Amino acid sequence: MASESSLAQPRVNESESQGIFMKPIAVVALGGNALLRRGDAPSFDNQLANVKIAAAAIAEIAKDYRIAIVHGNGPQVGLLALQNLAYTEVAPYPLDVLVAESEGMIGYMLAQEIQNVMPTSEVTTLLTRIEVDANDKSMLDPTKFIGAVYNEEEAKVLAEANNWIMKRDGEYLRRVVASPKPKNIVDMKAIDALLADEQIVICCGGGGIPVCKSDNGFMGVQGVIDKDLSATLLAKQLNAEKLLILTDADAVYLDWGTENQRALRHATPAELSQYDFPAGSMGPKVEAVIDFAAFGGKAYIGALEHGLDVLAERSGTCVSN
């Protein structure tokens, strides 16, 4: 396995090295809150409506790029966790298994709707394991929001009943879990092969299934990896040209929630590094685009429904050197 220091090195595509032209790669990261808007009922129909919006935008981007899609799973894995607790005949399934379930669920919906829009294209959903450090500092300081939003009274009851940690997400409270940083994409060879075959690849879903090394190989880790950090690791390993983070926010804002709030439309990694953003929401997205832009790519943050405009720099936030 490659050392951690080598993971950020560009990978040379074999076809390109032989002089065969292939479209550049774009990594598109879809936020779990964009696919299931906060405050909306967590129904299949609500999610499907947003998946259709994503599929239409991806179809346009695919005209010029080979695409790897990473999606979030915060609302979805939280819902699975609640359903998991409702059945009391057996012990609840661990969080890494629920992440895998959400990968399959969301990946299926995305693959089907993308192929409905692009019937001649091949679309593959790949359950993806990502190596993390079992002793990551986030294990002691959870920051990753999952599940629904609650008012003060609801949050207190659920926290006491289930031994959950709750933190504020805007005007609401949500459950938070550990979010270890991604170190290595275990299934990278499969992603490479699918993209070389010019398939649209849905991978690293929900940030990927967190695993760590043990004496008996890999084992699951109780956490949810931030999908934006996984998307950046993927984009760097693929030597992608662009990283597009689509969420339920239309841009990166300074002084968010105040009368002085203002959108950042263009920034360099150094400029963006001057500001602090919440660890449980915009913070990882900003960290991701800074990392990828510093690596030499071009990164964007914007609203799911304006994906093409974000990529064309007519909307959202663009970060580059």
pLDDT at 20: 65
What does each C-alpha distance from 267 to 31, 175, 271 come to in angstroms? Answer: 21, 32, 6
Task: Return the structure tokens found at 82.
Answer: 């609640």
With pLDDT > 90 as the criterion, what percentage of the chain qualifies? 65
* Residue 170 known to be catalytic: no
**CA 275 to CA 273: how far, in whole Å?**
6
pTM, rounded to two decimals: 0.87
Task: Return the structure tokens found at 141.
Answer: 């300081």
Q: CA-based diameter of the chain, in Å?
A: 63
Rounded to an integer, the average pLDDT of 266-278 is 90
* Residue 183 known to be catalytic: no
pLDDT at 309 over 60: yes
* Residue 84 known to be catalytic: no
Rounded to an integer, the average pLDDT of 185-194 is 97
* Residue 285 known to be catalytic: yes
* Residue among 84, 107, 144, 280 flagged as catalytic: 144
* Residue among 74, 78, 205, 227 flagged as catalytic: 227
pLDDT at 310 over 50: yes
Beta-ladder partners of 245: 29, 301
* Residue 32 known to be catalytic: yes
The terminus-to-terminus CA distance of the chain in angstroms comes to 31
What is the set of domains in the chain, with CATH numbers?
15-72+100-129+181-319 (3.40.1160.10)
* Residue among 31, 33, 236, 307 flagged as catalytic: 33
pLDDT at 304: 86
pLDDT at 18: 53
* Residue among 181, 242, 285, 298 flagged as catalytic: 285
**CA 293 to CA 275: how far, in whole Å?**
16
| pLDDT band at residue 88 under the 50/70/90 scheme | confident
Which of 12-26, 34-48, 186-200 is the least confident region?
Answer: 12-26
Q: What is the 3-state secondary structure (H, E, C) of 191-236?
A: HHHHHHCCCEEECCHHHCEEEEEECCEEEECCCCCCHHHHHHHHHH
Which of 29-43, 101-115, 147-161, 208-222 is the least confident region?
Answer: 29-43
